[in-house]
Amino acid sequence: MSDKNEDDLIDIEVEAQADDVGDDGVPAAVPPKDGIADLKRQLDAERAMRMEAERRAHAATVDKEDTDIQLVRSAIDTLGRENELARQRLQYAMQTGNFADQVAIQDEISEYKAKLLQLQNGLDAMQSKPKAAPPQVVPADPVEAFAARLTPRSADWVRSHPEFVRDPAKNRKMIAAHELAVADGIVPDTDAYFESIEATLRIKPAAVQAEEDASATAAKVVQRRDAAPAAAPVSRGQSSRNVVRLSAAEREMAEMMGMKPEEYAKNKLALQNEGKM
């Protein structure tokens, strides 16, 4: 193998955190990104706050509509009583032969009738108006929309396997796997249920899959890496800073795997410290 040009190599300093250094002074493997769980909790809290704000706004709208209806009904009742009093006064004016009062009271009664008709028409329109529907927050993510209809444990499984929601063909297979498990008498949401689902879908358990993925990644790195000297493990009393040299081939591998050079360097360092490289 010919020597690589020094321009094709880069040095990446990887600083091991205090929590990443074991008792023997060797940095531990890079842990999963715990920030994802925190971000999810933050998004769930924001979604809950938004739903509560919309619920309150909806309740305020409904309360205002009900209040307006009550006010109109009260006005109709008041005008109705005044109109009845006017009719009684008209009857008395007719009995006493007071023609002038009869004319004035009749005009008053006509005005009451016009106002009552106007209020009644408005009340009918308000009562026939459809009620505002309660707000429904639909998750933008189809995975979350699907998970929202499931039990907590099934929802977590779906979030761990989002491809079985986004891919229509895989989604049908997942539903078929559920039906087969239920037909076999397996209780949903149990360990046996998820084992049956994963067996039908040919999904390996998470622990096994993670171990195989790590082994495959290490194998690819070993096959493509240059003959660069491995970084020595950090011993007690030494600085926790490590320099990992990535070749052009390794940078290309990192890009193919969708990883940043820093992340690739950390994984390489962990494998070196474990004696796998």
pLDDT of 86 strictly over 50: yes
Question: What digits encode the pLDDT tens for the residues 66-84?
Answer: 888 888 888 899 988 988 9
Specify the range with the lowest mean pLDDT, choosing from 30-34, 87-91, 117-121.
30-34
pLDDT of 162 strictly over 90: yes
The residues, ordered by sequence, that sit 6+ positions from 129 with a Cβ below 8 Å of its Cβ are 65
Per DSSP, 7 falls in state G
pLDDT value of residue 1? 47
Q: How confident is the model at residue 55 (pLDDT cuts 50, 70, 90)?
A: confident
pLDDT value of residue 250? 81
For 157-183, letters b (16+ CB in 10 Å) and e give bbbebbebbeeeeebebbeebbeebee
Q: How confident is the model at residue 170 (pLDDT cuts 50, 70, 90)?
A: very high
CA-only gyration radius of the chain, Å:
38
pLDDT of 122 strictly over 80: yes
- Choose from 60-64, 211-215, 262-266 the range with maximum mean pLDDT: 262-266
Q: How confident is the model at residue 133 (pLDDT cuts 50, 70, 90)?
A: low
Is 154:173 a contact under the CB 8 Å cutoff? no
Rounded to two decimals, the pTM is: 0.31
pLDDT of 5 strictly over 70: no
Where are the chain's structural domains?
6-27+223-273, 41-128, 142-200
Which tops the pLDDT comparison, 233 or 216? 216
For 69-79, letters b (16+ CB in 10 Å) and e give eeebeeebeeb
pLDDT value of residue 241? 55
Q: What is the dihedral of CA 49, 55, 58, 64, to 10 degrees?
A: -100
pLDDT value of residue 156? 93
Which tops the pLDDT comparison, 61 or 39? 61
For 201-226, what is the mean pLDDT?
A: 68
Specify the range with the lowest mean pLDDT, choosing from 40-54, 152-166, 178-192, 230-244.
230-244
The residues, ordered by sequence, that sit 6+ positions from 62 with a Cβ below 8 Å of its Cβ are 131, 132
pLDDT value of residue 245? 77
Q: How confident is the model at residue 200 (pLDDT cuts 50, 70, 90)?
A: very high
